[in-house]
Structure 1
């Protein structure tokens, strides 16, 4: 089943269960997907939807950090609940060992040997890791390997 269909089915289930918090988070996802489709005049694929979800999770994690720094745990809890709902629709995250193995494969296939090759390496890694690993951490691993 396509990811968008899965999200819509979960929306229906949340409506029937009268779960307002979950329903609100799912509606945010659907609105973000629709906005991108309208802006770009395309129909999003599952990979595109995962990219939208990844961006939304990142935004919410940033918000949580800001709310906690400001002492607003009540708002941070709302964001954390939304993150939980968003992550249900994302692919299973990769372990550190799996990320390291993909990194080694990418280095071997691109022949990357210095920091000048980082762009090539990240271009190979990003499609494989999008939504399945924190790209900030991956970037640090690449810098450590090449630097």
Structure 2
């Protein structure tokens, strides 16, 4: 298996695993995603589409490599959003006021509030929230995909 083949495989499997894991935690675990959780899903959807295009173009290594690198970038974007969201959850910085718990100025604001606040993690393991896990897996995985796809084949 070539490095590019490995990169394509990771680029299709990793965002699928993270996306379906998030959906599974929602459907089977009863967790309700906040707005920032949803933001992290879209780059994974884009990465899956880009990886599928890369696989379809495997007969054209240059084009396949380009789409694999774009998939890696999409995975890294989700990881960056995960870092931002985790920072909001750990109160390292403030998030968007429409989905954090400290912005209510009136009863009307409270009535328009989302059910799930972005600054309150619903689940943690070892002190790491789901946003934190998405950040870790997406950044490490995206960098691996990019590194593998960037290597030129041995001659």
TM-score, normalised to structure 2's length?
Answer: 0.36
What is the TM-score of this pair, normalised by structure 1? 0.38
User: By percentage of residues, which structure has more helix?
Assistant: 1
